[in-house]
């Protein structure tokens, strides 16, 4: 079985013989698996996110581009509601 352009024998050597992956192969595997690259190359930047935010971010990446305006509208509404709540609480 090949993953992207990575030969299955190469992956078998990684698993069975402890062959070290090259950087391009690591990046390709991360992309094929749909994982956030930041997690592996900038872990300090992602440690502050809660599990819920990570899950939401993952779902957002899976969402088709055509729905981005709907998602942006929902986010804008949530931020506006937060602003209103913050203003009310500070009075």
Which pLDDT score is estimated for 86?
78
pLDDT tens, position by position, 8-43: 888 888 889 888 888 888 888 888 888 877 777 776
Q: Please report, to the nearest 10 degrees, the dihedral formed by the alpha carbons of residues 63, 68, 72, 78 taken in order.
A: -30
Burial of 39 (0-12, 13-18, 19+ CB in 10 A): middle
The fraction of the chain above a pLDDT of 90, given in percent, is 9
Structural contact between residues 42 and 18, judged by C-beta atoms closer than 8 angstroms = no
Q: What span, in angstroms and rounded, lies between the C-alpha atoms of 24 and 28?
A: 6
pTM: 0.42
Which pLDDT score is estimated for 77?
92
pLDDT of residue 56 exceeding 60: yes
Q: How many CB atoms lie within 10 A of CB 11?
A: 17
């Amino acid at each position: 079985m090949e993953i992207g352009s990575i030969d299955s024998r190469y992956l078998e050597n990684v698993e069975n013989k402890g062959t070290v992956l090259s950087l391009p192969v690591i990046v390709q595997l991360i992309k094929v698996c749909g994982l956030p690259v930041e997690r592996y190359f900038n872990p300090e930047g992602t440690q502050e996110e809660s599990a819920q935010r990570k899950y939401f971010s993952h779902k957002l990446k899976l969402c088709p581009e055509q729905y981005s305006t709907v998602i942006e509208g929902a986010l804008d509404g949530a931020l506006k509601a937060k602003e209103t709540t913050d203003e009310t609480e500070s009075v």
